[in-house]
Amino acid sequence: MSLISKVPTNIVTGFLGTGKTTTILEIFKKKPQHEKWAVLVNEFGEIGIDSSIFINSNVEKPHIREVVGGCMCCVSGLSMKVALNDLLKTAQPDRLIIEPTGLGHPVELINILRSEYYKNALELYNTITLIDARNLSDERYIHNEIFEKQVLISDIILANKCDYYDHTDKTLLKKYIESLKLDTSIIHYSNFGKIDLDLLYGKPNNLSQKLESISQLFSEKNKAKDPDYKIDFSTKGWRYDPTYVFSKDKFDKFIQNQQITRLKAVLITDEGIFIYNKVSHKDFDCIEVDECDESRVEIIDERILDNFQSLLETCLVNDLKV
């Protein structure tokens, strides 16, 4: 990469449903008007919903590229490099924000960004990891290798959705950070992804040493790990052309009762076009937007019901063609 030099680059990471996209939108609301910022977004599924959120947001439209179909530095490694190279060439950004999938491997991503190929093109600034502290009582999170690496690699912990926390949640967060031998001063609390822009401008300390420590830690952990203990996530998505309209009332009731690790959707309904976000058993978020070219639904879960599609399609106003 020789066309640009040392583009300040921040990774905004965090597990599924912590509010990464919302946080990046908040960041773009505050960015200096005279600067061009770009976003590289990675989605675990094949459908891609996040780009619709950026396009329909009320902030200045960022230069954006999307990498779908798994962790961008693993199964989508080549796609990532193509998308990143194209984004840098066309946008010529003053700052780059990278949003990995919530199931992405942040350490591996950083190693790619520090590689010989990108070392003169990019300069890494603070990695910001979003956490919903309410999840720290769930062993599926705290014993998940990806989740733990996201926290260990962070320069800033953004404890998002803190209006929903109680005292126990904040205590658990502090104890968890201390258990990883991290300084609790990196914790910052947030609602709706609101963030002080100054948090982006710091640079990582002793990054090489941190990466080596994480590598050694998980090498030892993996030796001691029960080989039968593994949490795998699957993803499935559906597209519907705009002639098919969903009943908003039916869809709202349908997803309210679903205990899915993650659901995202952009839907053409009988009441307008809406973007949906749902995490686990919690209530869903829904915002109305101006446009989309088709309806898309994507879920991530440990086990996807065989009849999920048929249940989903009971929410259609009009029947699917045979």
For residue 212, being part of any structural domain is answered with yes
Mean pLDDT of 280-296: 83
Give the whole-angstrom CA distance, residue 99 versus residue 75: 16
* Pair (80, 164) in one structural domain: yes
241, 266: one domain: yes
**Minimum mean pLDDT among 14-18, 70-74, 93-97, 291-295: which range?**
70-74
Q: Which of 7, 41, 6, 9 is nearest to 202 (CA)?
A: 9
Q: Which one of 187, 206, 224 terminates a domain?
A: 224
First to last CA, the chain: 50
Ordered DSSP codes for 271-318: TEEEEEEEEETSPPEEEEES--SSEEEEEEESS--TTHHHHHHTTBSS
User: Is 1 within a domain?
Assistant: no
Same domain, 307 and 195: no
Within this chain, do residues 213 and 97 fall inside the same structural domain, yes or no? yes
| Tens digits of residue pLDDT in 1-43 | 446 889 999 999 999 889 998 899 999 999 999 999 999 998 7
In this structure, the answer to whether residues 72 and 91 fall within a common structural domain is yes
- Range with the lowest mean pLDDT among 50-54, 78-82, 205-209, 289-293? 50-54
**In which band, very low, low, confident or very high, does the pLDDT at 179 lie, cut at 50, 70 and 90?**
very high
Report the candidate in 195, 190, 194, 192 with the shortest Cα–Cα distance to residue 285: 192
**pLDDT single digits (tens) 212-224:** 999 999 888 776 5
The parent domain of residue 301 ranges over: 234-313
Same domain, 137 and 261: no
Residues 177 and 86 grouped into a single domain: yes
258: pLDDT confidence band, cut at 50, 70 and 90?
A: confident
Asked if the model's pLDDT at residue 282 lies above 80, the reply is no
Is residue 149 domain-shared with residue 258, that is, in the same domain?
Answer: no
Do residue 137 and residue 178 come from a single domain? yes
The mean pLDDT value for 88-98 works out to 95
Nearest-5° Cα angle at 40, 39 to 46: 135
Q: Please, which residues have CB within 8 angstroms of residue 222's CB and are 6 or more apart in sequence?
A: none
| 153 and 256, same domain (yes or no) | no
User: Residue 83 domain-assigned?
Assistant: yes
Domain total for the chain? Answer: 2
Q: Could you report the per-residue pLDDT of 48-88, keeping only the tens digit for each?
A: 676 666 666 666 667 888 887 777 776 556 788 899 999 99
Last residue of a domain, which of 197, 224, 251?
A: 224
Please report, as a single letter, which amino acid is at residue 211.
L
Looking up residue 271, the CATH number of its domain turns out to be 3.30.1220.10
Would 320 be classed as within a structural domain?
A: no
pLDDT tens figures, 236-256 = 899 999 999 999 999 999 998
Residues 6+ apart with CB under 8 A from 174: 184, 187
Least confident of 57-66, 130-139, 305-314: 57-66
Q: Which amino acid does the sequence have at 91?
A: A
CB 20 within 8 A of CB 132: no
Q: In the chain, pLDDT over 70 holds for what percent of residues?
A: 88
Note whether residue 321 is domain-resident. Answer: no
Of 224, 242, 277, the residue that ends a domain is 224
CATH number of the domain enclosing 41: 3.40.50.300
Whether residue 161 lies inside any domain: the answer is yes
Same domain, 247 and 216: no
pLDDT at 114 over 80: yes
Average of pLDDT values for 286-301?
Answer: 88
| pLDDT mean over 102-123 | 92
Do 219 and 238 fall into the same domain?
no
Q: Is the pLDDT of residue 185 over 80?
A: yes
Classify residue 20: in a domain, yes or no.
yes
Average of per-residue pLDDT across 184-205: 96
Asked whether residue 46 is assigned to any structural domain, the reply reads yes
Q: What is the predicted pLDDT for the residue at 224?
A: 59
194-203 confidence digits (pLDDT tens): 999 999 999 9
